[in-house]
Amino acid sequence: MRRILAVLCLAPAMMLAAVSFQVDGKDINRAQPGAGTADMLSRVMPAVVSIRTAATIPPDYLRRLKTRIAPDDLKSNTKTDPKTGEVQMFVGLGSGTIINPDGYIITNRHVVMMPDNTVAKLAYVTLSDRREFKARVLAVDDKTDIAIIKVEERNLPFARLADSDKARVGDPVYAIGNPLGVGMSVSSGIVSALGRSGLGLNYEDFIQTDAAINHGNSGGPLVDFEGRILGMNTMIRTDGRGEGNIGIGFSIPSNLMLSIATDLANTGKVVRGYVGLFGEDLPVEESAKLTQSRNGAVRITDVTVDSPASRGGLRKDDVIVAVNNKPFENWNELRLTIAKRRPGDVILMSVIRKGQGSLVRIAVAERPAGS
């Protein structure tokens, strides 16, 4: 073999020139714009967790399962409680983010719901360093699909929330979570649109993104370029032929997350502002004539009797064009604006009635349960 090599080395003219490739082995200059993504992700990913809900299996049902499921499959989908000896089967999978070092984790409500539509009594949280904790569900909000769960551990890594009102279409974003149970993963994209609604929840203000989101990503964060939580990955739009990602995902914005999480963690329920009116969007042409702008306008379709709106003097067919001198885009945004107010707040509504503008003071009340 040495002889052959020697001959080859001494007779280069007999060989074709070898193809070579250039390699630049220098470290990435992470100080230059756009180069620090890996460092940023390494800081935020320890705060992202995998969540599995579980249910205790009765002994007789466990015996039947052992005759139907391969031992390895049964082992990977169950867990034995070391204290009680009970066997628990994993039912659901999702992601979440630690937002307080004392173990408070935010996720989607649907991540902690059982098949019978009850809140899970048992969940397990796995951190990026493979530590696993038993978690309890503190509270959920079905109107925004947000839940707060807690593990009894302190000094945990946590992530901070960004101001989602400052997000712009085109901003780079990163979706982090445990898609399809393959393990903690990151996908990247941009903010595709803001203020999306009409997706089936009572209160919506979704950030749309093309960052890949799949089953298991639910509850995980959508982070901005500085590693702050910009949103919570919640749902995707499919083409109707499958359930995979096609580049249309929706995340609950961080400002809405913060408002709901604060209430759930501190009081166990969400307190929303209420004025007692129903409305509809005016057509763009009609709205433009009234507002002399491209801002939205809402026509009142009904006012609840003895509500803050009725006591403030609002009537059916009044047109609302601003709240506290701030315009809005549509009825959905107006509803969110009112809902975010605290009971006792006074808001100033800019109203047009029969072509005449006026300002109406409304004292916000707490939204009645079930409304």
Catalytic residues: 110, 145, 218
**CB burial class (10 A; 0-12, 13-18, 19+) of residue 282?**
buried
- What is the identity of the amino acid at 146? I
Strand ranges for the chain from DSSP E = 48-56, 78-80, 87-100, 104-108, 123-126, 132-141, 146-151, 172-177, 185-196, 206-209, 221-223, 229-236, 249-253, 273-274, 277-281, 298-303, 319-323, 346-353, 356-363, 365-366
DSSP secondary structure letters along 266-324? HHSS---EE--EEEEEPPHHHHHHHHSSS---EEEEEE-TTSHHHHTT--TT-EEEEET
**Measured between alpha carbons, how far is 281 from 300 in angstroms, rounded to an integer?**
9
Which residue reads 């580049």 in tokens? 247
**CB burial class (10 A; 0-12, 13-18, 19+) of residue 320?**
buried
**Measured between alpha carbons, how far is 236 from 209 in angstroms, rounded to an integer?**
9
Structure tokens at 362: 């409304």
DSSP secondary structure letters along 91-119? EEEEEEEEEETTTEEEEEGGGGB-TTS-B
DSSP classification of residue 232: E
Kind and range of the H or E run holding 39: helix 37-44
**Measured between alpha carbons, how far is 108 from 236 in angstroms, rounded to an integer?**
14
